């Protein structure tokens, strides 16, 4: 695993301006990280004030696309409950064009009821949300893959599309790589096997990661897809210090106990974090998303790139 296989993952709903996100993305690009990702949430979580308030994922990424040139950009993950499939396909295709083909598209059913009620977004039951996700995925994939000059139609139980010109097309042929993730045992693996270029498991143990990836591999084989065509990734909270004192200071800054974050994240001194990353690689992770919670601490990005990456 190299630095380009490490991706910076941010949670702006916890409190971040656009300028803060841009600074993180630009520093990550300068250092050589593989991608800048953000969550797609409209409400803060936990004991933070969330100020100045949420930002829209695709508006943010479109702006960052014009202020960067090489780093990939994406979401973990866009919520299907937030948007209709046709307009979402247009938005993501437009950001792909604005970035000259640097978008990855993480897509999920949506899960946080509080943000839906806070901003007037319908929040149906889990089964309905997955029905919605499956049909949106089929529509977005269909729109992106319809040849120019032809039209796309879809007659589903949730969504209907009639004679769409299926425009605009993304820069990336067939559309941006799709990322699917989660612990579901049937519908999630089938969606991943059908549409995804990457399967992601966020914030779980290596045992859970290995067992869920095995389920997705089985789904790939059932769909006559070679599992080796899937990229396997995980997300971990990152908290690194040049020494133990600096690690403890960074853990306190994000409200985490040093022992807990070391056990559950990519945390500790550079040598310890490199060991953790190597262990995840042995479990089959080909790519890691490092969740950076203190977005004002750009030196943290430098330390990981300069002191951790050479050891992995």
pLDDT class of 33 with cuts at 50, 70, 90 = very high
pLDDT class of 284 with cuts at 50, 70, 90 = very high
pLDDT class of 34 with cuts at 50, 70, 90 = very high
Kindly state the helix (H) or strand (E) to which residue 198 belongs, with its residue range: strand 198-202
pLDDT tens readout for residues 223-250:
999 999 999 999 999 999 999 999 999 9
Separation of alpha carbons 246 and 259, rounded Å: 14
Separation of alpha carbons 91 and 113, rounded Å: 24
pLDDT tens readout for residues 64-98:
999 999 999 999 999 999 999 999 999 999 999 99
Kindly state the helix (H) or strand (E) to which residue 89 belongs, with its residue range: helix 85-98
Kindly state the helix (H) or strand (E) to which residue 212 belongs, with its residue range: helix 206-222
pLDDT class of 56 with cuts at 50, 70, 90 = very high
């Amino acid at each position: 695993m190299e630095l380009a296989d490490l991706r910076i993952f941010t949670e702006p709903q916890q409190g971040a301006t656009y300028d803060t996100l841009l600074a993180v993305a630009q520093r990550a690009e300068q250092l050589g990280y593989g991608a800048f990702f953000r969550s797609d949430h409209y409400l803060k979580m936990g004991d933070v004030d969330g100020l100045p308030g949420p930002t829209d994922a695709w508006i943010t990424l479109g702006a960052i696309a014009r202020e960067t040139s090489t780093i990939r950009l994406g979401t973990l993950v866009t919520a299907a409950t937030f948007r209709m499939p046709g307009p979402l396909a247009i938005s993501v295709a437009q950001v792909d064009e604005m970035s000259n083909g640097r978008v990855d598209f993480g897509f999920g059913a949506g899960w946080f009821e509080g943000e839906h009620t806070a901003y007037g977004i319908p929040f149906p039951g889990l089964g309905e949300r997955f029905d919605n996700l499956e049909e949106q995925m089929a529509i977005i994939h269909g729109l992106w893959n319809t040849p120019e000059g032809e039209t796309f139609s879809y007659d589903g139980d949730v969504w209907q599309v009639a004679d769409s010109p299926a425009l605009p097309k993304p820069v990336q042929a067939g559309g941006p790589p799709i990322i699917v993730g989660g612990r579901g045992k049937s519908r999630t693996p089938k969606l991943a096997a059908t549409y995804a270029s990457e399967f992601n498991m966020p914030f779980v143990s290596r045992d859970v990661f290995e067992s869920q990836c095995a389920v997705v591999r089985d789904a790939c084989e059932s769909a006559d897809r070679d599992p080796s065509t899937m990229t396997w990734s995980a997300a971990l909270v990152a908290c690194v210090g040049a020494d133990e004192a600096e690690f403890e200071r960074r853990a306190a800054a994000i409200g985490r106990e040093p022992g807990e974050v070391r056990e559950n994240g990519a945390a500790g001194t550079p040598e310890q974090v490199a060991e953790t990353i190597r262990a995840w690689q042995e479990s089959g992770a080909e790519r890691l998303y490092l969740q950076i919670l203190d977005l004002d601490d750009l030196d943290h990005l430098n330390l990981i790139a300069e002191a951790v990456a050479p050891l992995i």
